[in-house]
Structure 1
Amino acid sequence: MQQNQLGTKRLEDNLSGTFALYSLLSRHAKILTIPNHDLSDEKLTTYSCSVFREQSFAAKTKRWLEGHHVKKHAILILVLVGSCMVIGDGILTPAISVLSAVGGINVGRAKISGDVAVLVAIVILIFLFSMQRYGTDKVGWLFAPVVFLWFILIGGIGIFNICKYDYTVLRALSPVHIYRYFKRGGKDGWTSLGGIMLCITGTEALFADLSHFPASSIQIAFTVVVFPCLLLAYTGQVAYLMKHPHYVVGAFYHSIPESIYWPVFLVATTAAIVASQATISATFSVVKQALALGCFPRVKVVHTSMMFPNQIYIPDINWILMVLCIAVTAGFKNQTQIGNASGTAVIIVMLVTTFLMTLIMILVWHSHWSLVLLFTCLSLIVEGFYLSSVIQKVYQGGWVPLVIATAFFIIMYIWHYGTAKRYDIEMHTKVSMAWILSLGPSLGLVRVPGIGLVYTELASGVPHIFSHFITNLPAIHSVVVFVCLKCLPVHTVPEEERFLVKRIGPKNFRMFRCVARFGYKDLHKKDDDFEKKLFDSIFLFVRLESLMDGGSSDSDVSSLLDEQNETVIDCTLKAISSSVESTALQMADSIEISNSPLHQNVSFITSDRENDQTEADELEFLVSSKNVGVVHFLGNTVMKARRDSRFCKKIAIDYIYAFLRKICRENSVMFNVPHESLLNVGQTFYV
């Protein structure tokens, strides 16, 4: 828990979890396995990166990480393992929380069998997962009072038991008893550490779900309410067991005073539902971040709240979690084995967090190496003890999260592997600008009125799919815009900085590129007027370009050698809601142009009447083309493994990745492209 508190202390995006830490690291070191980094991305207000001294420990660590692909893949695998364990915890925590809560039925009514408690738990779980589609916006205000009441009750019951049965158990709070416990218990005492993991299983999911709560709120709540109440509750149960040692099983419910038993049972069940809800929301958050960074197949993500944009619902994941959660509950039928499984998942997440935090302390915080070493050693020693004890319980239910995590890991890693391969294909097969220019303004085709939006994963260069259009189509639209939807390793991209517009070739080619940048917390929704904002940014670009003298001589930063005739203006839409004209006038006195790799800033003065007339003509042409109609071009790239490829690669590409692409959402749905104006062009590549 302390590691996640440290990790969230400086995360201004108010999100945590392994992918949030991974994104933070990738801004300070080039560790992403998909090399789509662009210098213009670093100008975003939410994109913060460090400057290292040449011979500093951080600089050496950065060079060591960036030196070889194996190290980048090792970090990615580490992150995927941690994320898969969090997903596994999203299955186990609802099962154990609800099952342990309704287990009180057996205590209150001894005649009721354990199977009835399991059946009630399954019914509650079905209800819980079925209600996820409606979100927590309308009932979320109940969560805090319910949880607060729960902690007050268990704390009060603990005080009651301590006072009534044996107040001397408070001596157990002394650290001296830690030494005496292990000395007296020996191997059995060490093995019992695995059971203690249940006391902290909820913290990992809670800190992975920081989109719902500020870090400071969680830290204060843990210090003032949670930790004291838990200590009182466990100490009170110990005091009760000192007088009633035969009630070890179900000690909590047995220790409740009879007069308040059923009210406490009701609050316990409600609190279990709230705890399960937090874990499920954390799982949705992790999957959303993995999806944005290309590590999860395309699934539907739904906003469930207009007030809280971070509250999301993923239908496919929700039903998978429900089925697996019910299977675990019905299969084990007791919380002991599920607890062993949950403990295994949590300790692995803690280890992953420790390794990532070590890198963050070096690369982000620039901590002294001695402090980093102290933190890492102390954390690994404590977690190593817990891990060694948890391993003993693998055969007693601890294998469940390992199986679940392995299945999700295979899916996520192969999907990311296929995504990286597709990006490499686009990078190595992109069309030379010299060839485009040789075709002339008409591109060797008939230019018909209208605008064609060509979707590509490339933020620079002309994709290979465009050569297919030119080769196979008799005509092309009078205006062509290459659209790239790019996800950056930041939590969000401000709306006024979302679009980066560039011109490809001379003005009479009527070709543009528009890079729409998103953070892993952002959603490309159907009702966000994306197409309108895209065209507004192009119109603004044309106005800004007219204010510059000789703007057509610059080139693309990312591909200077191949695209020496591509104009680049790193302009962002400062106020989409306001008119383009007013925005342009505000920026007329000082316009910057990104000039090749040197990124020199050049100031321009307002243009003459001829430029104004050219600008008006081009804007009129763009508006008339837009009014004629817009067609969306999507490439359907099919990858197949070469005949001489290894067996594992053939299985991964030809079967698993192909199957995942077949069952996941199509790009046209993810991009919210209207079906009536969509044109798909297929390509097959062998990798």
Structure 2
Amino acid sequence: MEGVACCTAGQRTELNAVCCMYVCMYVCMYVKTVQVVWISVAILFMLFSVQRFGTDKVGYSFAPIILVWFVLIAGIGAYNLAAHDATVLRALNPMYIVDYFRRNGKQAWLSLGGVVLCTTGTEAMFADLGHFNIKAIQLSFSFIIFPSVALCYMGQASYLHKFPHDVADTFYKSIPAAMFWPTFIVAILAAIIASQAMLSGAFAILSKALSLGCFPRVQVVHTSKKYAGQVYIPEVNFLIGAASIVVTLAFQTTTNIGNAYGICVVMVFSITTHLMTLVMLLVWKKNVAFIAAFYVVFGATEMLYLTSILSKFAEGGYLPFCFSLVLMALMATWHYVHVCRYWYELDRIVPAAKLAALLGRPDVRRVPGVGLLYSELVQGVPPVFPRLVDKMPSVHAVFVFMSIKNLPIPRVAAAERFIFRRVGPAEHRMFRCVARYGYTDQIEAAEEFSASLLDGLKLFVHEEAAFSCSQHTDDNDGDGALRAAQAAAAEEEKRYIDAELERGVVYLTGEADVVAAPGSSLMKRIVVNYVYTFLRKNLSESHKALAIPKDQLLKVGITYEI
């Protein structure tokens, strides 16, 4: 019994020692994980903080680092090939892929989810097509990215052939000792650069969604005067930064984040293939057989990878779907209410007779200066104008109903920026103006914008008089006198506009509360009264997005029941 008792005590002592060892090991692993997580959070915070300096400046500062990174991984790969086993180059033969699937079956298919991570990051360059031209991407892919990445992975395969037990940390184990720390530092910087590329792409895509009315009006800062597409959106930068930090703190390890990233990338590939097929069919009008071949080859390949990576859906792969659903729901909500509001205003435009009666009221005065009333309408007088006159019975001496429209083209020439027409008789000095911008054009600051607009208005007055004069083609004295009188009237009106400009410009915006009409469905009340209102109140107000100074701004409150 004593022997058994001693043996049992010894086993317990050994068990306690083993338990302590595992506890210590897990504690150390947890501490290291926590340290890495908080270091990552600090890096993310710095990355999103420097975006305000401009994506072009950030890109210039990172460009030499990414070049060093590609040279390093290519050199390490070539070293491993030469030092360990150069025969892995035979893997370039595609027959080995067939043999791999024959041997491993289902496991080979599941492994494609990990293989696809080898190609991630390249899609960021395609998201940045607004920043780089096609030739630059073709050259960088063909002569820098593909050779470097191929040498890197072949070098790791060569290393693993000799040291198969290092499979969990192949890249860093395969680095020569003298190059470890330089490579480690450059690797961290390269990871930051990859994040920068995705940020630039997100800014560019959302700025285009804004131009199509699918996203709340936010301030889009074009950070480069030389290169189109270099934009910075403060609100979006904050939201993406906060989401990135939350995901990092929640997931903590790269395994689940990698699964989410892999699904996201393959979905992007698949969506791009489907949209490209539509473009080839409807826009380019290519041969149907060619389109079918393209769709079958690329679609089948991407579907194979997608079905493999979807097996990791529950292990972090759900993340991009959740983000996409939330973003799509917000964009759909904004677009829906935006369109309903536009039709509401269009159905309630002020008739010409009512406008004349409004201005003819004895209590309505014409005050000095220029008034610019912003509206989505490109025709007619918006319903907010009578509200303005009722609350403050005065109208500026020169009054312009202003609409800003984004066109689906890169740029609009400055000479074609503004389109004017008169509202009512000439003595009212009221005008309608539509300012047109391409998706790479930047809306000017308030002073520059008003100066350009009124220069365009004076040009319109001059051309209107010239056109009127050209209608009288006879050379008799009566027509000549009429032309002279019209030209003199035009010059007088231009001087009048200059004089009122000197007295100041006031910007007026309609602060519309949009609510669901009585009797609306529950879904519509939720979408309009809560979701849309939340977006409107928590993102940039229109005057901030249009860079209107507060001391020149007048808001007019109105409620629309849609």
Give the shorter-chain TM-score range: 0.7 to 0.9
Query: Per-residue deviation at 1:230?
Result: 0.9
The one-letter amino acid paired with 1:253 is: Y
Matched residues in 2 for 1:281 and 1:528: separation?
29
Matched residues in 2 for 1:511 and 1:137: separation?
42
Residue 335 (structure 1) aligns with: 254
Specify which of 196, 203, 213 is matched with residue 132 of structure 2. 213
Quick one: structure 1 residues 633 and 118, their matched pair in 2 at CA, closer, same or farther if it must change by over 3 Å? closer
Residue 390 (structure 1) aligns with: 309
* Residues 482-497 of structure 1 mapped to structure 2, 5 A cutoff: 482-497=401-416
Give the root-mean-square deviation of aligned CA atoms: 2.6
Residue 14 (structure 2) aligns with: none
Residue 258 (structure 1) aligns with: 177
Matched residues in 1 for 2:54 and 2:392: separation?
47
Tell me if 1:667 matches 2:529.
no
The one-character-per-residue Cα deviations of 1:478-535 (angstroms, maximum 9, x if unpaired) are: 3221110111112222222211111223322322111111122222242670000000
Quick one: structure 1 residues 520 and 238, their matched pair in 2 at CA, closer, same or farther if it must change by over 3 Å? same
The one-letter amino acid paired with 2:195 is: S
Matched residues in 1 for 2:440 and 2:229: separation?
7
Does the aligned pair in 2 maintain the 1:480–1:511 contact within 8 Å? yes
Residue 523 (structure 2) aligns with: 648
* Residues 231-250 of structure 1 mapped to structure 2, 5 A cutoff: 231-250=150-169
**What SS class does the counterpart of residue 213 from structure 1 fall into?**
coil
* Residues 87-236 of structure 1 mapped to structure 2, 5 A cutoff: 113-136=32-55, 138=57, 140-236=59-155
The one-letter amino acid paired with 2:535 is: L
Quick one: structure 1 residues 150 and 475, their matched pair in 2 at CA, closer, same or farther if it must change by over 3 Å? closer
Does the aligned pair in 1 maintain the 2:55–2:231 contact within 8 Å? no
Does the aligned pair in 2 maintain the 1:291–1:298 contact within 8 Å? yes
Does the aligned pair in 1 maintain the 2:469–2:483 contact within 8 Å? no
**What SS class does the counterpart of residue 168 from structure 2 fall into?**
coil
* Residues 302-321 of structure 1 mapped to structure 2, 5 A cutoff: 302-308=221-227, 310-321=229-240
Farther-moved stretch of structure 1 (216-225 vs 543-552): 543-552
Farther-moved stretch of structure 1 (464-473 vs 328-337): 464-473
Query: Per-residue deviation at 1:233?
Result: 0.9
The one-character-per-residue Cα deviations of 1:234-269 (angstroms, maximum 9, x if unpaired) are: 111111111211111111111111121111112212
Is the radius of gyration larger for structure 1 or structure 2?
A: 2
Matched residues in 2 for 1:606 and 1:356: separation?
62
Residue 464 (structure 1) aligns with: 383
Matched residues in 2 for 1:682 and 1:652: separation?
21
The one-letter amino acid paired with 1:419 is: H
The one-letter amino acid paired with 1:631 is: V
Quick one: structure 1 residues 635 and 239, their matched pair in 2 at CA, closer, same or farther if it must change by over 3 Å? same
Quick one: structure 1 residues 551 and 681, their matched pair in 2 at CA, closer, same or farther if it must change by over 3 Å? farther
Matched residues in 2 for 1:505 and 1:111: separation?
74
From the two aligned structures, give the one with the greater helix fraction: 2
Quick one: structure 1 residues 658 and 168, their matched pair in 2 at CA, closer, same or farther if it must change by over 3 Å? same
Residue 197 (structure 2) aligns with: 278
Matched residues in 1 for 2:207 and 2:399: separation?
32
Tell me if 1:618 matches 2:537.
no
Matched residues in 2 for 1:493 and 1:172: separation?
52
* Residues 476-515 of structure 1 mapped to structure 2, 5 A cutoff: 476-515=395-434
Matched residues in 2 for 1:633 and 1:460: separation?
17
The one-letter amino acid paired with 2:94 is: P
Residue 93 (structure 1) aligns with: none
User: How high is the TM-score relative to the length of structure 2?
Assistant: 0.87
Quick one: structure 1 residues 193 and 466, their matched pair in 2 at CA, closer, same or farther if it must change by over 3 Å? same
Residue 638 (structure 1) aligns with: 513
The one-letter amino acid paired with 2:231 is: I
Query: Per-residue deviation at 1:650?
Result: 1.0
Does the aligned pair in 1 maintain the 2:131–2:228 contact within 8 Å? no
Does the aligned pair in 1 maintain the 2:372–2:402 contact within 8 Å? yes
Residue 465 (structure 2) aligns with: 546
Query: Per-residue deviation at 1:540?
Result: 0.4
Q: Identity of counterpart residues, as a percentage?
A: 41
Higher relative contact order (CA 8 A, sep 6+): 1
Does the aligned pair in 2 maintain the 1:548–1:607 contact within 8 Å? no
Does the aligned pair in 2 maintain the 1:546–1:607 contact within 8 Å? no
Query: Per-residue deviation at 1:441?
Result: 7.3
Matched residues in 1 for 2:546 and 2:187: separation?
43
The one-character-per-residue Cα deviations of 1:30-73 (angstroms, maximum 9, x if unpaired) are: xxxxxxxxxxxxxxxxxxxxxxxxxxxxxxxxxxxxxxxxxxxx
The one-letter amino acid paired with 1:530 is: F
Quick one: structure 1 residues 448 and 318, their matched pair in 2 at CA, closer, same or farther if it must change by over 3 Å? closer
Matched residues in 1 for 2:489 and 2:359: separation?
17
Runs of 5+ unmatched residues, structure 2: 1-27, 472-479
Matched residues in 1 for 2:320 and 2:55: separation?
27
Quick one: structure 1 residues 402 and 616, their matched pair in 2 at CA, closer, same or farther if it must change by over 3 Å? same
Residue 362 (structure 1) aligns with: 281
The one-letter amino acid paired with 1:247 is: D
Matched residues in 2 for 1:263 and 1:396: separation?
33
Query: Per-residue deviation at 1:620?
Result: 2.2
Does the aligned pair in 2 maintain the 1:504–1:512 contact within 8 Å? yes
Residue 566 (structure 1) aligns with: none
Count of residue correspondences: 526
Quick one: structure 1 residues 440 and 282, their matched pair in 2 at CA, closer, same or farther if it must change by over 3 Å? closer
**What SS class does the counterpart of residue 320 from structure 1 fall into?**
helix
Quick one: structure 1 residues 258 and 375, their matched pair in 2 at CA, closer, same or farther if it must change by over 3 Å? same
Matched residues in 1 for 2:417 and 2:513: separation?
30
Quick one: structure 1 residues 491 and 247, their matched pair in 2 at CA, closer, same or farther if it must change by over 3 Å? same
The one-letter amino acid paired with 1:376 is: Y
**What SS class does the counterpart of residue 113 from structure 1 fall into?**
helix
